[in-house]
Structure formats: structure tokens, C-alpha cells
Structure 1
Amino acid sequence: MRNLWKRFRFWIIPVLAYIFNIISSRWTRLDVYGRENAEKCTDQSILFAFWHGKLWLPAYFFRDSDYLVLSSLSRDGEYMTRILKRYHYRVIRGSSSRGGSRALLKLIKEIKKGYSGFITPDGPTGPIHKVKPGIVYLQEKGGAVIIPIGVAVRWKITVNSWDRLVLPLPGTRAVMAFGAPVYLPEDETIEKRAEILEDSINLAQEKAERILKTGAGD
């Protein structure tokens, strides 16, 4: 009975989350700014970087793109994997604590083939809004350009989790802001490069929040 419930839970939770993601995302009035920052980098692989708690809208926005996504080997990672596969992402499993090295090597291999993807550099367990070394290593070895993204939502539910996951309520207004391409300097330490990227994501996030508040995109 316990195994039956476990299998049912692993099926029903992703299905319900997927359905809610579709409903809330389709009924969200999303304005996108700075998309040209990504369009001018289409001749190379791109890693879109945003904070873990802002995943909800980008997961829907980038659907059917065949993008790479790193998902942890945890239970929550299994839920996320099942949702993302419904959107046709190329999911690679692994995290900083379990299967991380193999996952990073596989991501690098796929990036070198020309695939793009998105990554939440403070995941899968935090600390919140702090860039971990993985994306720095990916950029260095894979040669991809990083595009930071900020996401701001007016009416929302903020989950009481480590990442403060934002769930947009249907009918709300939201803003997604693409930042300028980031090429991390190879002559800097990993810690310094992580700090540069952290600042870039925060700038994109601040821009999204400012546009949502003022309505001004410049």
C-alpha cells in the first residue's frame, strides 16, 4: 500500500502542478523586456540564469524550446523533472551533492553541441540568491554566454520554502526582464566571477521590479 501511494504521489503532484502552471501562466499578463539581448546571441549557446524562486513563469515561457535544464536527484527534483519533461525540456539529473560532477560534464557536452538551457544558480537548496560555482564552470568549459533574467509578479503567492517560490495568481501582471549578455572574465577567481554574475542577475531582477512598479521599460 505504501509503494502504491508513493507511485500515485509521484504521478499526481506533477500533473496538478503542471495544470496549475499552464492556467496561471496563460492568464498572466506577461510583458517581456530586453529580449533582443538574447536574440543577438543566437549564433552561440545561451545559459539563461535566474533565481530559483522565480522559476514558475520562465518554465512556461521557454516551453517546447528543447532547452537543457539541470534538475536535482531529490524528491522535489523528481517532481520538477516530470513537469519539465511535459514541456519538452532536455532534463539532466544531478546536484551539487549527488551526481553533480557527472551532470555538469553532461551539460558541458551538450552545450558544446550547440544546445542552450536555463539554470537557477542558487539551487537546488540555496542559500537564496547566492551563485554557486557550477554555472561559472559551465560557462568556462562550455563556452556559452549567460543571459540574466529578472521576474516580477504583482499578485502572487509566495511559498514558505527556502527559495521563496513565487506562484502568479491568474489574471495578474508580470514582467520578465532579460539583462545584457554576461561573459565572465577567465582571469578572475571563481568567487569573483560568481559575484559578477550575482550582481548581473540582481540588476535584471531590480529592472523587472521597477518596470512592474512604474510601467517604464527604459
Structure 2
Amino acid sequence: MSLRKKIADSETTLNWAARRIASYIRMVHRNTKWQRIGYDELDKLAEQGEPVIVVLWHQRLAQSPYFFPLDKGRICSITSAARAGSMVGRVQKLFGMDTIAMSSHKRHVALSREVLGKMKQGISIGIAADGPRGPERVCSTVPLVWARSSGKRIFGITYSARHGREAGTWDRLLLPRPWRNEGVFLCREWTETVPRKATDEQIEQLRQSLEKHMNDITAEADRMVGRTPWEPKL
């Protein structure tokens, strides 16, 4: 192993980087005038200890520690076990979130069992539905599988900021300007029901419905702050 890789993989280096990223996220949050819209039902459920499934787009991860009312309930974020996903998990832990690392070596059945166990403890689950590697804005069926198994409700959450830039990453990660900014957090329940014995065709229809729901609320948040809504790459 090269010296550079040893340094990059060291706990000291990774924790230092996580603290720097967390500082940026806090600075953005502190120096932005936020609107928080559509949270009444989620806040009530969190206070009652009723877990939900929170879905977001990978592009909007940069303010994800503020998506869920952590003062009212607990949430566990599903992250990748790869280096970038591991860093997301480290950062989110600094804000008081639980995390589960999802790796190619962990069977989906084992992951689902772990997730369902968290929900039985009253802990909500958060997942980037198009992560960890995309394609961008293509929703996976994972949140639907968990909703079918648990009977829990799905809430789509997104944010947008007036001033910011998109990174040159596969997800076009939105990086808000950390001063004199305006932003919005938008939460809206996806109200479709996932049947316990849904067919493959029904699951695909529901997947497309959830994908549209996420794109609709993200476009709405963008318009509210004067950003041009996302368009797929040609």
C-alpha cells in the first residue's frame, strides 16, 4: 500500500475531513435564510416515535443532516461502504444520525433485516434512492421493498438554495454558497400504497411514481428559490 493511500485511509485523516465537511454544512445552514415547508405530519410522527422511510436524491445530500427533525426522533441513513459513502456516514454521525453501510458483500436480505430491525425500534430510515452510483435521478425499488415489508409511510424530502453550483460529479451534487443565501427544505409524503403481494409490473409502476414524486418536489423547491429545475443529461 502506498503512503498516499495509507494517509487517505487513516482514521485521523478521514475524521479530519469529516469535521471540515460538517463545518461547511453548518456554515451554509447558519448563513442561509431557510423556509421549512410541509413538515407538519413528519414532525408529528417523529414526536410519536412512529418511524418512516425518507427518500432523497443523491444530488441534494449536502444539507441532508437537516432534512429530518432530529430533535424529535431518530433516523438511520443508508450509505455506501465505499470511500465517498463512508465519508457521508462519518459526516452524518457528527450531526447525531445513525448509519448503516451498504456494501456489495452484504446480501440484500441481510441489509433489509437490519433496516427492518431499526424501524421496529422506532428509528426512521433515510436513503438516496438513486445512490450510491446512479444513474442520476433513477429511483431504485429499495424504498418500495422496505415500505412493503414494514408498512411504513414514505416521505420525499429535498432542498434547494438560490446561490450555489453543481459539482462535476455523476449526480451533479448541489453545493450551496455558505453566506448570504436563501433556501428551502421541502417535505411531502408519497401517498401510494405498496401491496404486500405486488407484482413486478406493479412495483415498476410504483417505482416510476416515486421517481416522479421526487423530481416534482425538487423542481418545486428549485423554482421557489429561483433556480432552473434539473433536466436529464442528453
TM exceeds 0.5?
A: yes
Q: Equivalent residue for 2:204? A: 191
Gaps of 5+ in 2: 228-234
Consecutive unaligned residues in structure 1, runs of 5 or more: none
Aligned to 1:60: 66
Pairwise mapping of residues 202-217 of structure 1 onto structure 2 (< 5 A)? 202-213=215-226
Q: CA deviation at 1:174?
A: 0.8
CA–CA distance in 1 between the matches of 2:83 and 2:16? Answer: 14
* % identical aligned pairs: 23
Partner of 1:182: 191
Query: Shift in Å at residue 89 of structure 1?
Result: 0.9
Task: Say what the alpha-carbon RMSD is for the aligned residues.
Answer: 2.1
State the partner residue of 2:20: 16
Aligned partner of residue 226 in structure 2, secondary structure:
helix
Alpha-carbon distance in structure 2 between the residues aligned to 1:161 and 1:39: 33
TM-score (norm 2): 0.82
Q: Which deviates further from its counterpart, 186-195 or 153-162?
A: 186-195
1:48 and 2:54 aligned: yes
Rounded Cα–Cα distance in structure 1 between residues aligned with 2:29 and 2:16: 20
- Native 8 Å contact 1:38 1:181 kept in 2: no
Aligned-partner Cα distance in 2 for 1:157–1:213: 13
Distance 1:180 1:99, change over 3 A: same
**CA gap 1:37/1:100 in 2 versus in 1, 3 angstroms:** farther
**Quick check: 1:154–1:173 contact (8 Å CA) kept in 2?**
yes
Alpha-carbon deviation of 1:53?
0.9
The counterpart of 2:30, out of the listed 17, 26, 33, is 26
Q: What residue number does 1:107 align with?
A: 115
Matches of 2:204 and 2:99 in 1, distance apart? 27
Residues 112-141 of structure 1 show CA distances to partners (whole Å, capped at 9, x for unaligned) of 332113211000110111111111111111
In structure 2, what is the Cα distance between the partners aligned to 1:211 and 1:105?
Answer: 39
Separation (CA, whole Å) in 2 of partners of 1:31 and 1:10: 32
Report the Cα distance in structure 1 between the residues aligned to 2:27 and 2:59, rounded to whole angstroms. 19
TM-aligned CA deviation for residue 41 of structure 1: 4.2
Write the deviation string for residues 55-87 of structure 1: whole angstroms up to 9, x where unpaired. 112323435642111011100111111111111
Q: 1:5 to 1:166 in 2, by over 3 A?
A: closer
Whole-Å separation in 1 of the counterparts to 2:105 and 2:155: 26
Measured in 2, the distance between the counterparts of 1:146 and 1:194 equals 12
2-side partners of 1:100 and 1:28: how far apart? 41
* 2:141 and 2:207 in contact (8 A); partners too: yes
Contact in 1 for aligned 2:148/2:194 (Cα 8 Å): no
Question: Within 5 Å, which residues of 2 pair with 1:82-161?
Answer: 82-95=90-103, 97-101=104-108, 102-161=110-169
SS of the counterpart of 1:149? Answer: strand
Which whole-Å CA distance do the structure 1 matches of 2:82 and 2:158 have between them? 26
Partners of 1:126 and 1:106 lie apart in 2 by 23
